[in-house]
Structure 1
Amino acid sequence: MTIRIRWSVLAALLLAGCGDGGGGGGDTDSLDPPPDAETRAGTVEDVYLASGVDGEQIAFTVIEPETFAEGAKYPLILHSHGYGGSRQGSRPTEGLLAALSAAGYGIISIDQRGHGESGGTIRILDPNLEGQDNLQIIDWAEDNLDWLAYRDGNLLLGATGGSYGGGFQHLIYAIDPEQRLDAIAPEITWNDLRYSLYSGEVFKSYWATLLSLGGGANQDAEVNAGLMQGITTNTLSQEQQALLYQNSLASYCELGTLTKIDALYWQSARDTLFNLNEAYANYRCVEAQGGDVRLLVKAPGHDSGGLEACGKLDKNRAILAWYQEKLRGVSGADDDIPEFCFHLGDDGEDGVVPNELPEATQVFQVPPTSITPSNNVFRKRIPLTTIGAGGAVMIGLPEISMMVTDAVAGAPQLGDPILFVGLGRRAPGENIDTLIMGNQVRPFRGYGMFEDELTGVSVRLDEGDEISLLLYPSFVARYVGSASTVGAPVTVEATVGLPLFEGDLPQAPAN
């Protein structure tokens, strides 16, 4: 057997302070071109490897910086696509990747297993398959690209991408034994796929169907079986839930095996697949490791449009500034990026900057209310509060303590009650409530006491707006076929905490 010791590992043993994955000081390769260095246009090269796991093809594209100086050293950015997508296979001409390339970053854009030109089946970023493929790509880069920059012997490495392209960043961060990622910038991604697709033990059939279509014939048989069971029976087996958990950052958070890293999160509070609650969970987990972690909220998500910004803070410029600071060492480059920012509305420049992570601050009581969970659409509305003079912003995660009992005292509990709970808004003079965050409801299944979060919110409220708790017996917009099949009436009694704040919070800065 041949034992190969990687240079980055050997250097980590010899140099002080390396391998913490958090960026920062230390001895860094000069990122300035050598004097009188010849320059040329950067090249773009497709690379195909045989996976060390099972021999399947791994496809990726190496994109040198737009202007390449011979003898210079450059930080590397890993990029990957959304679910059902494919890599950036040519020189980018617009957007974030073009800006990074122009600023002197090398890029490797990856086709994840089962996508694009990569072989195998889609396992939703399984650490034993997609995870090993991604580590093999980084190994290849260190062995074959002589222009890579290092700090204290550790590769200067960042990553970018949204959704599935955010999940792959978490995967590498969690499993790379050499801790080569210095900083990450995940967008609209998950914390726990069990929550994403089976929150409250109720199957999110709308998104499961779209994922099944997106993965197509390349989706793994076990993944397909789980999606089909969820769609047809509104249940997932323990084994199916274990696969989702294994492929989630949440599992590593609970294991306690994560290390320090700098992370810039962009999430959409309007995203009904990976919502604001998942971003909070990611922030809390990664921030606890001691790195520089920031959470910014924008409008666009998996099923919502709008500006790629938080107020006047542009997303792409912020990510570029993030890496200028974390990888290139440009002091103060990321000073305009607040620790927290919440965009309000779909468009415009209304984004507020709280001085701490917003939590539920005001508590309201819900008196006993009867409802019959079933496949009907007749919701119950319970007023909570009316917004006073000056308006307000509601940003963060509402909380609920809710008791669900049989409507007839002493009667046996019947059926399988499922409720979909959201927050409504009714403007002065109107007689119709709209969900504060469109199509955002939290399902609850069964009898007894529930203490949990409702889906996150990020909205500006006007004086006179009435806020209510909305109880739905079914919610076909995102949970078609996932309602109760037996319409036994239940009584609901609850306490609701709302993250309500004064309307004059500071506005997000321009960058």
Structure 2
Amino acid sequence: MTGDSGVPRMAPTGHRPASRHKRDPEERHMKQFAAVLLSLGCLVLSACGSSGGSDGGNNGSGNLPPLPAPDGQGQAGPAAGSERAGRSYDVTLTATDGERIVFTVHEPAQLVGGQKYPVLLHGSGFSIPRITAAMRNFAAPAGTPLVNIQTSKQYTDAGYAVVSFDQRGFGTSSGTVTIMDPDKDGANLLQVVDWIDANLDWTARRDGNLVLGAYGGSYGGGYQLMLNNIDPRHRLDAIVPQITWYDLSYSLGSGDVPKSGYGLALTAAGEVLSGLQMDPSVLAVLQHGLTDNRYTEEDQAMLRYHSNRYFCEGVSQVGKRAAVHPPRVDALFFQGMYDALFNLNEAKANYECLSESGGDVRLLTYNIGHVLPGGVGLISGGLSGPSDFSRCGPWEAGALSLQWFDAKLKRDPAAIAALREVPEHCITLSSNAEGVVVNRIKTGGTQADVPATLVPLLLPVSLTPVTLYTATEDGTVVAGIPTSTLTLENPLPIPGLPGGLPLGVSTDDAFVFVSLARSRAALPSQLETLGDQVRPVRGFGTHTIELNGIGVKLNAGDRIDLLVTAASLPQYPLIIARNPLLPAVRVSGTVQLPVLGAVETVH
């Protein structure tokens, strides 16, 4: 839990979120143990992870409207006893609001009459077009960063159909860009899945429902979580969301400070690549962040509604769809440790939410992600090949994604056996993809004091490093979610005035940016911000918060320092304390680091 708004409510310890109700430690640990046993049993019996709904099936409950009649756009499979090469072809639907929905059906590489094939949905990252027929056979070198989230060949070659759609407002799909609005983007997605359900005669079925998976990264990860939340038939069986969000109000405004670098990037990419089709409501949110130095409560509510958090935590809003907890689905999450937009904290929150629903859920990290130019480079630890960007230890994202679908959708015995060797979590520690395997992601830990430190607000480039921890042996691993309790104070209170503040100064005028940096024993003056992770803290008073997740392996004498600054580039351009009557703030408190010690790592 945290002290400021717009932050995912993530349990400070353990596997499952504590936001629903409090549990005593013994009960919580017994339930965690039971969940682990259930997951292992599912792997051994290969019977539990095959469908997304309750009672062993992924059919939704209640009275559901009938599926639409076939519209003639789907191509029939070959007759029994014959076969043909798979094809790729486009389909166009008219959305309920009159807009155009366009997607491409990529059949499996070879269709055999009488056989049935699982289907994978694919959605691209923000502003990126779908995988078209011309891209069907595109194959990049193994391990190329994130290529697995924008290609179909490895899946069609393995006997899957891939249905790749243009997100609303991008490519050849029309409509304004609403950033994963459940009532607009979501309605379009439901039409796509209904069309697949009604029009393709060669799709695999289980318990009367499609055998359906989904993959994609960033925006293409967000759609998977949203679809799982709103599909009344609960058709998703297995998903692989990569580098995606839990709560957009946190992603774009943690600590109630707008992340202007990405706000500007989203606006520019969205407007240019959609043909000036960004929805006015979205533009207004991004504009408020830049001009007002903060988002309004209405802005934050909109961003939250477009997020998994809305459903996971029951953040209901008047006039919006019910915030029902997500149904069961097997989910393999990947998150970038250098991702400056969607961090490990958000991935952990997604993991905890879907784990609570009862599915087999794993979370692994890698080095790549949303990295803005000017951030700390990824090469400080040395690279041995392109796959270093997309793996943690021996587990490479593209290969593991295919293995995940083989186990969950095909129930392939070899894939099921292989998944027994894949851990609950692997946290990447360096740019050469060395990682640490943990059963839970540690939150908080070894405490260090932050002595009262003066931070000049009118000299935003000045650094104020505070040493928090010094490793005493080689191979010391620090990995997880740091926590902190930090107090911001006015160093020059004026007697007789409210809060001791000068006239024209409010408590929210004060904010600073906090990050953790490594100082190597051999280069003590060279500070390397861990994972490019920066956390704003806003307002006078005491803030108990999570800092952004980190992973690092230290040598004896290496330090972890706390950096407190008044500005942060390139993530927060133009976002600084703007009141000249407030020249400085004083920061003090404590930080708790997730120190694991000199534990075994994987390569």
Corresponding residue for 1:302?
370
Question: What percent of counterpart residues are identical?
Answer: 39
Cα pair distance change 1:503/1:436, threshold 3 Å: farther
Once the two structures are superposed, the pairs formed by residues 81-230 of structure 1 within 5 Å of their partners are: 81-90=124-133, 91-94=136-139, 96=148, 97-216=152-271, 217-230=276-289
Corresponding residue for 1:413?
501
- The amino acid across from 2:538 in the alignment is R
CA distance in 2, matches of 1:454, 1:72: 51
1:375 shift after superposition: 5.2
Asked if 2 retains the 8 angstrom alpha-carbon contact of 1:341 and 1:352, the reply is: yes
385-394 or 196-205, larger mean C-alpha shift? 385-394
**1:482 to 2:575 alignment:** yes
CA distance in 1, matches of 2:99, 2:350: 31
Corresponding residue for 1:363?
447
Once the two structures are superposed, the pairs formed by residues 229-268 of structure 1 within 5 Å of their partners are: 229-255=288-314, 256-268=324-336
Asked if 2 retains the 8 angstrom alpha-carbon contact of 1:439 and 1:477, the reply is: no
Asked if 2 retains the 8 angstrom alpha-carbon contact of 1:417 and 1:488, the reply is: no
Choose from 401, 410, 419 the match for 1:319. Answer: 401
Once the two structures are superposed, the pairs formed by residues 369-408 of structure 1 within 5 Å of their partners are: 369-374=453-458, 376-408=460-492
Asked if 1 retains the 8 angstrom alpha-carbon contact of 2:78 and 2:84, the reply is: no
- The amino acid across from 1:370 in the alignment is L
Asked if 1 retains the 8 angstrom alpha-carbon contact of 2:79 and 2:114, the reply is: no
CA distance in 2, matches of 1:385, 1:241: 36
Corresponding residue for 1:503?
598
- The amino acid across from 1:268 in the alignment is G
CA distance in 1, matches of 2:188, 2:82: 35
Asked if 2 retains the 8 angstrom alpha-carbon contact of 1:387 and 1:461, the reply is: yes
SS of the residue 2:267 aligns to: helix
Asked if 2 retains the 8 angstrom alpha-carbon contact of 1:439 and 1:478, the reply is: no
1:333 shift after superposition: 4.2
CA distance in 2, matches of 1:436, 1:176: 41
- The amino acid across from 1:298 in the alignment is Y
Corresponding residue for 2:340?
272
Cα pair distance change 1:92/1:247, threshold 3 Å: farther
- The amino acid across from 1:413 in the alignment is L
1:436 shift after superposition: 3.4
Cα pair distance change 1:349/1:490, threshold 3 Å: closer
1:311 shift after superposition: 1.6
* 1:241-264 deviation digits (Å, cap 9, x = unpaired): 111111000000111522111110
**1:49 to 2:93 alignment:** yes
* 1:3-52 deviation digits (Å, cap 9, x = unpaired): xxxxxxxxx9xx9732268xxxxxxxxxxx99983221101010000002
295-304 or 57-66, larger mean C-alpha shift? 295-304
Cα pair distance change 1:20/1:343, threshold 3 Å: farther
Once the two structures are superposed, the pairs formed by residues 332-347 of structure 1 within 5 Å of their partners are: 332-346=417-431
* 1:444-471 deviation digits (Å, cap 9, x = unpaired): 1111110111111012111110111111
362-371 or 172-181, larger mean C-alpha shift? 362-371
SS of the residue 1:478 aligns to: coil
Asked if 1 retains the 8 angstrom alpha-carbon contact of 2:484 and 2:544, the reply is: yes
1:161 shift after superposition: 0.2
CA distance in 2, matches of 1:438, 1:231: 25
* 1:363-397 deviation digits (Å, cap 9, x = unpaired): 11112222233452112111112101123111111
Corresponding residue for 1:293?
361
* 1:259-302 deviation digits (Å, cap 9, x = unpaired): 11111000001110111111111111111111111000001111
Asked if 2 retains the 8 angstrom alpha-carbon contact of 1:322 and 1:333, the reply is: no
CA distance in 2, matches of 1:339, 1:235: 37
Asked if 2 retains the 8 angstrom alpha-carbon contact of 1:50 and 1:57, the reply is: yes
Corresponding residue for 1:26?
none
- The amino acid across from 2:88 in the alignment is V
Once the two structures are superposed, the pairs formed by residues 384-463 of structure 1 within 5 Å of their partners are: 384-408=468-492, 411=495, 412-414=500-502, 415=505, 416-463=509-556
SS of the residue 1:476 aligns to: coil
Asked if 2 retains the 8 angstrom alpha-carbon contact of 1:344 and 1:459, the reply is: yes
Cα pair distance change 1:199/1:374, threshold 3 Å: farther
* 1:290-325 deviation digits (Å, cap 9, x = unpaired): 111100000111117652111221111100000111
1:353 shift after superposition: 1.0
Asked if 2 retains the 8 angstrom alpha-carbon contact of 1:424 and 1:433, the reply is: no
- The amino acid across from 2:412 in the alignment is V
Corresponding residue for 2:72?
none
Aligned length: 482
- The amino acid across from 1:500 in the alignment is V
SS of the residue 2:252 aligns to: helix
Asked if 2 retains the 8 angstrom alpha-carbon contact of 1:436 and 1:457, the reply is: no
CA RMSD of the aligned region, Å?
Answer: 2.1
TM-score normalized by the length of structure 2: 0.77
TM-score normalized by the length of structure 1: 0.90
Asked if 1 retains the 8 angstrom alpha-carbon contact of 2:343 and 2:549, the reply is: yes
Corresponding residue for 1:64?
107
Structure 2: state its 5+ residue gaps. 1-50, 61-76, 140-146, 315-323, 372-376, 379-387
